[in-house]
Structure 1
Amino acid sequence: MDTKFARLTLDPDFQISRIDKRVYGSFVEHLGRAVYGGVYQPGHGSADEEGFRRDVLDLVRELQVPIVRYPGGNFVSNFYWEDSVGPVSERPRRLELAWRSTETNEVGVNEFARWAKKAGTELMMAVNLGTRGIDAACGLLEYCNHPSGTKYSDLRIAHGVKEPHNIKTWCLGNEMDGPWQVGHKTAREYGRLADETAKALRQIDPTVELVVCGSSNTGMATYPQWEATVLEEAYNSVDYISLHTYYGNRLNDTANFLAYSDDMDHFIRTVISTCDFVKAKKRGKKDIMLSFDEWNVWFHSDAADSDTMGNRPWSVAPHLLEDQYNFEDALLVGLMLITLIKHSDRVRMACLAQLVNVIAPIMTEEDGPAWRQTIYYPYLHASKYGRGVALNTALRSSRHDTREFTDVTDVEAAAVWNDEAEELTVFAVNRDLEDSITLETDLRGFAGYELTEHIVLEHGDFKAVNSAAAETVAPHTVTDRDELDGGLLKSRLAPASWNVIRLKKRK
């Protein structure tokens, strides 16, 4: 027997849960060139009649993004929503405190809602619980969702938006545990405010889903007591708690970097345990679900960002957080997507942060095209083929240790069964940097299914990047790495590769 191996057993009866499509969501913040020069750039050759870039819209629609969190992020903690509506010529410019930029308010709530419709996505709206509170949150919800006949609903109509936006998912602030947050609060202070805000919002629209802020990352000194304290206050009033995490290969150790998805897995398990502890303590009847509404690789642009904000503040749409992603970043993004799929019973929403220009799969040139970063592709594949039922894979794999982790599986995998289309997809990453590994998948529970495609993202240089001029890292289809015989599929996974293995039932 090979010392390195990976085995899956798949059966339609071995299910984790049906995946909420919103787990493939994303995020657009008023930060850097995400909005101005990203989704919106009047005068660009691709701009439509409202100034939205058609080339960006095409790429977003290709990703089939189901939900987009907006307008922040740290930005929201000093956001005055009233400044972002009404005649554009009358909107004030404001100092944006989170990223030390100037916000022109040229794009606001109504404009972004129109962009979302064009992109085929829904909005996840965040409210300011930093410098503001219950009153402003209620005003924004009334403006967005109430039909007519009140101060703010009639104001929306006066602004030319007759029909309500009917935004169903609302975030109660952002990263309120972080000292960097404008209006940072203790867990008890924030939990009380979130609870009272949630109760007021439900008076206006009882159908909304509400997300309370969890820890900004596992390195916070208050984690995971923050989650426990906040939920002790707000458990009965909210539906979700948020998780945020970013990883970077700061040690320049690829094997260790690719093990960070194990840290993400541990983060999710810890928050689930904390939620369930509070449920037991309160004799609760419902489960608090998880919204992993910020996740990605982020570290490449740190030095440039500090210089821009520190030495050249208050510019409009500066170049900030424009990480240029390489091949190994795409592998970790794929591993993180696998982790989210494996926890789909409790992680019901997630947002790759962010969508355009700012730590993003899509980049734009001011006077040129929009283009796909390396991380675009695993995100695309998961969003397209990861709809349906997440299966319990019963994965067994050989293992290795890294600088920071032990017992890291050589192969990490998830499987999704689209029962309506009778399609089965296996997502797999070979984390071994040197050797191919044969993934053996027991498909006897899927009689009559045949292999239709094996997509691979691989490259000989872990630091290879894409650009507007050249797409160096791109997926391709292989035809000589799989053998299906008697219900056993053997798939050769190249070293350090992202694999999408697709099957469909014969007609």
Structure 2
Amino acid sequence: MRKASVLIDCDFAIGHTDPRLFGAFVEHLGRCVYGGIYEPGHPTADEKGFRKDVLALVKELGPTLIRYPGGNFVSGYNWEDGVGPPTTRPVRLDLAWFSTEPNSFGTNEFMDWCRAAAVEPMMAVNLGTRGGDAARNLVEYCNHPGGTAWSDLRRAHGWDKPHDVKLWCLGNEMDGPWQMEHKSAAAYGAVAREAAKMMRWVDPTIALAACGSSGRNMPTFGQWEDTVLEHTFDHVDYISLHTYLNNYKQDTASFLASADLMDSFIDEVVALADAVAAKRRSGKRLMLSFDEWNVWYRTRRNRADRVKEGWPVAPPILEEIYTMEDALAFGGACISLLNHADRVKVACLAQLVNVIAPIMTETGGGAWRQTIFFPFAHMSRFGRGRVLRTQVESETYDSSYYDPRGTQDQVFAIPNVPYLKIAAVAQDGGGLSLFLLNRDLKQEIEVSVTARGFALLSVGERLELRHDDLKATNTRNAPGRIKPAPLQSVALDGERLQATLKPASWNVIHLTAS
């Protein structure tokens, strides 16, 4: 059995978790919208066509924010196609996913769905095939009360009150050659700056996120952020970053270490943003929007495969089936996000339903939780508060991580990976939540946690997610194969907590103030 010790002090905090840290993502991609959140005629559908079984699972999952409508989709999207009477909306070819877009679900339907799900909308504007003019018109349509052409058009469409969208993305992954109207950093920075100016002139209360690198291994990483922020620094609040973890090499130990590269990516983007501030002698500190993150690698598709499939409506694509192993790597990513709560203020799990998602549905049938559902739900439920610094003593291992995204295959060394990865969050009411990942595939870890400066604590909920078969999944016919169970070996004596974590396990211990 391995041993690890952790020291926590309630006075030493990293930062407060922003409610927007627990976001997710809905794109017009595959069955995320059609057959996912929206399926008129489904036995559980309400009068608006929203699947109530999906809504119930979304509320259990606990996202606070939903990014929409893309993703790659947004770089060719005319938002005007998705408003007005559905019977008059144009049907379009979607070049992002080689699908046919019926536009029967659009901006107003999304706002209604957000209200039904009790989440905040985060809207992206098309800075691929369009620019600042279309972007400022969408802000006016969504947020202006009335008396102008676009706001009165919204009212004529049946939504009298403004949607009051406060958070906006200035395009999506514009550094990627796969993007429609892919741009250089200078070209994107210029159009994003002008769009931001006009959008803020329409509504000065909005917050804006500029596109950073869509991956740490992009050949332009670093230079992209520097150039884009030279253009946009004074006009935006966030710089975005995206990461998808993979196990292409079928190396579980390295896969579970990959979340540590998220830590490096975040630290590097923070340094890049602060360098731009330093050159300006500015005290402004940009926050980070990690608005796409997940495990994804099995269902990636190339352009030739998409073309062969024709132009279907809502095809079943990118429907990653998640394993127990995936849930562990995913849990590591949750811990990485929490441990950067001082600068990562927005994060969006990509995506929400069916497409690389925690929730799966059968068209006309049921819905169920994938393995990654549970770490996210735990993070959202127990991760609100002050993230504390943790001093960890744990045995380590060396790893390497293969990532093919970019212009060439890359291997990143990850030395000295602690077997124990942990985040600690102090709640405002005096409680303390511990998120613990045992990355040892064979041995238990006996963890000793000293929590100093807290009032008397007692053990509340204690949860463990694990399975003897790391390739096990939840399916339509076996939706409960993998689910949380009580963590058995937990003892608390004053400020000292002892817990034994089983091999390859995700664990949550919630201590309540007595």
Tell me the TM-score range normalised by the shorter chain.
over 0.9
User: Does 1:282 find its partner at 2:280?
Assistant: yes
Pairwise CA distance, 1:282: 1.2
SS of the aligned residue for 1:177 comes to coil
Q: How many residues align?
A: 501
Of 297, 309, 313, the match for 1:312: 309
Distance in 2, matches of 1:419 and 1:200, equals: 39
Residues 394-441 of structure 1 deviation map (CA, whole Å, 9 limit, x = unaligned): 222111112442100010000111123x22100000000000011111
Amino acid at match of 1:410: Y
Task: Give yes or no for contact 1:212–1:242 (8 Å, CA) kept in 2.
Answer: yes
Pairwise CA distance, 1:306: 5.9
Of 466, 481, 485, the match for 1:472: 481
Amino acid at match of 2:258: Y
Match of 1:12 in 2: 10
Of 217, 220, 223, the match for 1:222: 220
Residues 135-189 of structure 1 deviation map (CA, whole Å, 9 limit, x = unaligned): 1001100000000000100000000000000000000000000001001000011
Residues 447-493 of structure 1 deviation map (CA, whole Å, 9 limit, x = unaligned): 310111210001111110001111211110133x1121232111101
Match of 2:380 in 1: 383
Pairwise CA distance, 1:307: 7.0
Of 421, 424, 433, the match for 1:415: 424
User: Does 1:325 find its partner at 2:322?
Assistant: yes
Distance in 2, matches of 1:297 and 1:232, equals: 32
User: Does 1:96 find its partner at 2:94?
Assistant: yes
User: TM-score, length-normalised on structure 2?
Assistant: 0.96
Identity %: 53
Of 127, 130, 135, the match for 2:128: 130
Q: Where does structure 2 lack aligned partners over 5 or more consecutive residues?
A: 401-412
Q: Which moved more, 1:294-303 or 1:492-501?
A: 294-303
Of 476, 484, 493, the match for 2:501: 493
Task: Give yes or no for contact 1:24–1:351 (8 Å, CA) kept in 2.
Answer: yes
Q: Where does structure 1 lack aligned partners over 5 or more consecutive residues?
A: none
Distance in 2, matches of 1:487 and 1:158, equals: 61
SS of the aligned residue for 1:401 comes to strand
Distance in 2, matches of 1:402 and 1:343, equals: 22
Distance in 2, matches of 1:21 and 1:218, equals: 25
Task: Give yes or no for contact 1:363–1:370 (8 Å, CA) kept in 2.
Answer: yes
Distance in 2, matches of 1:238 and 1:205, equals: 14
Task: Give yes or no for contact 2:460–2:511 (8 Å, CA) kept in 1.
Answer: yes
Distance in 1, matches of 2:425 and 2:72, equals: 34
Match of 2:118 in 1: 120
User: Does 1:401 find its partner at 2:410?
Assistant: no
Match of 2:434 in 1: 426
Task: Give yes or no for contact 2:16–2:341 (8 Å, CA) kept in 1.
Answer: yes
SS of the aligned residue for 1:456 comes to strand
Residues 66-104 of structure 1 deviation map (CA, whole Å, 9 limit, x = unaligned): 100000000000000001000000000001010010100
Distance in 2, matches of 1:286 and 1:418, equals: 28
Amino acid at match of 1:61: K
Match of 2:345 in 1: 348
The structure with more strand, counted as a fraction of residues: 2
User: TM-score, length-normalised on structure 1?
Assistant: 0.97
User: Does 1:448 find its partner at 2:456?
Assistant: yes
Distance in 1, matches of 2:352 and 2:108, equals: 19
Distance in 1, matches of 2:348 and 2:399, equals: 28
SS of the aligned residue for 1:30 comes to coil
User: Does 1:85 find its partner at 2:93?
Assistant: no
CA RMSD of aligned residues (A): 1.1
Match of 2:366 in 1: 369
Task: Give yes or no for contact 1:59–1:362 (8 Å, CA) kept in 2.
Answer: yes
Distance in 1, matches of 2:452 and 2:125, equals: 49
Residues 237-289 of structure 1 deviation map (CA, whole Å, 9 limit, x = unaligned): 00000000101110001001001011111100000000010000011121010
Task: Give yes or no for contact 1:94–1:103 (8 Å, CA) kept in 2.
Answer: yes
Distance in 2, matches of 1:486 and 1:206, equals: 50
SS of the aligned residue for 1:439 comes to strand
Distance in 1, matches of 2:495 and 2:75, equals: 54
Task: Give yes or no for contact 1:64–1:120 (8 Å, CA) kept in 2.
Answer: no
Task: Give yes or no for contact 1:434–1:495 (8 Å, CA) kept in 2.
Answer: yes
Residues 107-133 of structure 1 deviation map (CA, whole Å, 9 limit, x = unaligned): 000001000100010100000000000
